[in-house]
C-alpha cells in the first residue's frame, strides 16, 4: 500500500469516528435519526381558514341631534377668503372628542368659497350613510380643524387654499351636480361628527 493510499484510508476512518461522536448543532443542519436510516423530512401543510372581513361603521356613544337626519345647507360668507383656517361650531357635541390620530365617522358637505357650488358631499354617495376615515389621510384643513370636535357636533371649516389642495386642481367627484375644484381654491365644509374611534 502506498503512503498516499494509507493517508486516504486514515482520513476516512477519522471522518467516520468524528461523525459517530455526536451531532452537530450548527444552524441549518438536521441530525440523522439514531435508529436506522434517515427518513424524509416530514412537511406539514398549514390550511388557512377562509375569513370574511366585515367593515363596520363605528356607532356614536351619544344621542345624535335631529339635525343630523338632513343634509345641511352651507352658507359662504362674503368677502375675500381667509388666509387662515376658520373653525366654527354650529352644534356643540357632547361625546368623546376627536384627536389627530382618530378615525372619524362623518357626514359632510363641501362647497367652493368663490361661488358656493358643491364639489363633494357624503350625503350624495348613493348610500346616504356616514363615511369613516383616519384624520391622517385627509387635507391639512381637516387635520387641523377636526381635533377637539366632539361626537354629536356639527362644525363649519373655512379652509384656505394652502390647507386644502393648493395649486393642484381637482376633477369633479363624479357625483351628479358636483363641480371640480380649481387650483388655489378656498373651501367651506359643514361636518357632522357621528363617531370617533
Write down the CATH number for the domain with range 66-196.
3.10.50.40
What pLDDT, in 10s, does the model give residues 25-62?
444 333 333 343 333 333 334 344 443 333 456 677 78
Residue 142 parent element (H or E) = helix 140-145
Q: How far apart are the first and last CA of the chain?
A: 86
CB 108 within 8 A of CB 122: yes
> Length of the chain, please?
197
Q: What is the pLDDT along the chain (197 residues), one digit of tens a residue?
A: 444 443 444 434 434 343 444 444 444 333 333 343 333 333 334 344 443 333 456 677 788 999 999 999 999 999 999 999 999 999 999 999 999 999 999 999 999 999 999 999 998 877 889 999 999 999 999 999 999 999 999 999 999 999 999 999 999 877 777 899 999 999 999 999 999 99
State pTM to two decimals. 0.69
How far apart (Å, rounded) are the C-alpha atoms in residues 133 and 98?
A: 12
Amino acid at each position: 500500500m502506498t503512503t498516499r493510499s494509507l493517508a486516504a484510508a486514515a482520513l476516512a476512518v477519522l471522518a467516520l469516528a468524528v461523525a459517530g461522536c455526536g451531532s452537530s448543532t450548527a444552524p441549518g443542519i438536521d441530525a440523522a435519526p439514531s435508529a436506522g436510516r434517515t427518513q424524509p423530512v416530514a412537511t406539514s401543510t398549514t390550511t388557512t381558514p377562509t375569513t370574511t372581513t366585515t367593515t363596520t361603521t363605528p356607532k356614536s356613544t351619544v344621542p345624535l341631534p335631529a339635525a343630523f337626519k338632513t343634509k345641511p345647507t352651507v352658507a359662504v360668507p362674503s368677502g375675500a377668503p381667509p388666509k387662515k383656517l376658520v373653525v366654527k361650531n354650529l352644534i356643540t357635541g357632547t361625546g368623546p372628542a376627536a384627536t389627530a390620530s382618530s378615525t372619524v365617522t362623518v357626514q359632510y358637505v363641501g362647497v367652493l368659497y368663490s361661488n358656493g357650488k358643491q364639489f363633494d358631499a357624503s350625503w350624495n354617495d348613493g348610500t346616504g350613510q356616514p363615511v369613516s376615515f383616519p384624520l391622517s389621510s385627509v387635507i391639512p384643513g381637516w387635520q387641523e380643524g377636526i381635533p377637539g370636535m366632539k361626537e354629536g357636533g356639527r362644525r363649519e371649516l373655512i379652509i384656505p387654499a394652502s390647507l386644502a389642495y393648493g395649486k393642484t386642481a381637482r376633477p369633479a367627484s363624479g357625483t351628479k351636480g358636483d363641480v371640480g375644484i380649481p387650483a388655489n381654491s378656498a373651501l367651506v365644509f359643514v361636518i357632522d361628527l357621528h363617531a370617533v374611534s
